[in-house]
Structure 1
Amino acid sequence: MKDEGRRMKTTGPKFPPFGCFNLHPLFLVVLFVCPALLGQDTRERDQRIQVDVNLVTLRFTVRDQQGQFLNNLTEDQFRIFENQERKDLAFFDAPSNIGGRGGPLLLAFLLDVSGSTFATRSEEIIAAQTFFDNIQEVTQLGIFGFTDKLIPFQEFTSERAAALKAFAEARQHLGQTAIYDSLAQLIDRINSKAKKSDRKVVILVSDAIDKAYSKSASLVAKARANNITVYTILVPSAAQLYIGNAVESNETVPAQATKTSQEEAFARLAVGTGGKHFAGFETILDFDQTLAQIDDDIYGNLYSLGFYTDNPYLDKRERQIRVECSHSGARVSALFQNLPERLSQKKKYISALFDAGSLSRLSEAGGLQFEEIAAELDILPSDREGGQLGLPFRLKISPYSVRGSRKEGVRTQFGIIGLLLDRQGREVVRLREFFRASLSPKEIEVGRAIIYTNKLMAPPGRYDLRLAVLELASWRVTAFRSSVEIVDN
């Protein structure tokens, strides 16, 4: 690479000149990996994917004017519109709870707010809004968090607005993780509140990292003895995300065997109590679908409809979907939406944030064009650090293209993923990192930007650099690809 740097721009929205607001990453992670050869999909699989990515799936409830569920409606009583255009139904599934009846229920969310799961909170909060609109009126909601102890954000209430407010504020605490002790305390709290005839459910969201995971069996027994069903949602740990498959061990990250045991113990909380366990990057990417499955398992009141869209890559903000019901006085709830852009090849980028193995498949997405965030990539002259040669770069992100406003400022989170490939297409270096960004209205007004800097360590040579930045709250992506050269000056 020549001494002068190079700049790559997206063709997305332009932004005004800005000064430098230097935002240093929480951790610097550059991982050296063994070469990996990538296979090609078969034609049959390509055709199946082509069909699937055009399918939009909707799940919702319907109530009458008295707030009672209408679960016996037929397909011909529904019409779907996408951006004012009527769509044909691709499939129709009626609710499993035909009568729409349900008894009193105490439903507790138990959220890991230890700080290690911050990367997924935006998705959880957005999905909770739809979830709360689709539950039965006889449900009492409780919102609890935990670090090293149980934190009551909202005691059991029938007020949905209060529960949602508490859910959103449940990200303000930091600390260690005590899953099993907190669940034990919550079970005792539920029993002190519940009547004998009440159903009792806990939805537990955590990264499963707790040294006391051997308590899982006793917690299963305690929950079963008290007729409490537990649903577990495994979300990625920030520690796992920062470190990935680092060659050198880090004492703050559990060994792989211990990590596996922790996750298995966490899953047994659900399996052993009659609930369900959810894991994998798709659980986070489509968090509303995870809650939809739990909702339907608990209540059985969801209709499922599907239609094929003409534009599978349309941004969610530009896709207006409406469901109409011809039944007199019927009200359709907020929609659980499984949209095509979340089933498309954008998943290759997003999955790489949560799964180290998926990073090796990032090169498959190299030909895709995502320019949804206004950003500039500066390739800087190669230099040495600690005796190692590296390729430094700087990513400049406009605050006008991310979540926030000039009036309120910007508070958001980003993921950075990247690969450095040699001339034969083999991986030499991979990068995966999360960081937070915050700009005040005044900083935006004077033209400051979000600046991310890093360095990829590699021997001298010519390489193919592939880099993507994702905003977690919206899953918007901008991707870069560039031929670079590292030289030993």
Structure 2
Amino acid sequence: MSLMVIFRNSPTRLVKFISSSGRVTTRGGMTASACLKERPMRRAIQVSLLVLAFSVLNIGLSATGFAQDAAGQDNVIKRDVDLVSLYFTVRDNKKQLASQLDQGEFRVLEDGKEQPIKFFAHHSDVVLNVGVLLDTGTSMAWILNEEATATSMFMKHVVRPTDLGFILSYHARVDTLQVPTSDIALLKEKVDEIRSWGTVVGTPDQAPAPRPFPGPTPPIGPTGQPFNQRREAHLYDAIRVSTLRYLQHEVGRKAVVIVAMSGDSRSESTLEDALEVLLQHDVIAYVLQIYDPPRERSHRDHCDVIHTYERNEHGEEVLKKLAEATGGRMLEVKGMDKLTTALDEISDELHHQYSLGYYPENQKWDGKFRKIQIVTQEHGYKVYARKGYYAHPKEQAMR
């Protein structure tokens, strides 16, 4: 089994294949790891040129003075690498955003031990990199229309000139509709392409015609509506592709918004793979679980997708656990017509975030997972922040 991933990089369109062995290649034979290293290589060249320019401009400095400056700069770099940064939101007991709290209201614990907070800010003005991952595994034109309209409005509300937004679709494969850009018109143009993917005519209150699946009578779901037994939803693959391709090398706030019509189906990546890559690269995940309820007039859910979501051994929804572990949330969307409202709620949350940073007292970088907890001095507040990070060696990754 292979997963085809399409990246559109102007002016060239790259098509990558992820095989069952985990090797990813482009149609031109270039490995995905090489593609993903392309940006760091360019940055390394830029840094080298800057260092050279700095040396030329400061040729008159004494060797002793230059050595002292270099030592100071090296110390700053090491301290920055040690820094653990957290972006988070807070809601009160009425589930309203609490965005005017001071640093003294918060304490941060790592593996149960309190850590001194070195910086704190209200960071709605920090650069935001956000991607929307759309479940397009449906033949229903009206559902795809709802997704396109809601996504366009979300990008218009959340992406500012200094921010970057991108859009992926997933079903039997993962496709990039638009690479990161601040061009709202371009984002709208690209997401509007999914409107033409629907092959079944119908409305939320009208049974589809013609039958969505040609041939013998298709199986009937619990709502009395035919459904697609061959449906695939590579949700976990979409999370990994979006993070590794578009977010891992970015700085500032990073988030993915996942519009799901069901749980994952047939991804090569696992739930653990998806969660690990999000935590490693400090990406906040929001999950919108669609439940399209039966309409009053027809008493049927006119959708070709059965909205079922996986639960763990404790009966907890796994996508909810994934979102909360990264500092995001899972929202239940009861009807595609409620999708725009749900995305507006996420947009508002992204505009009311805090940030804090600390240097961990535990300086043993052994690659193990460390739990983080942000607590408030007063009761009645709920903090949404990532649950921890992997303490990789300092030369391998920033936290």
TM-score normalised over the length of structure 2? 0.42
TM-score normalised over the length of structure 1? 0.35
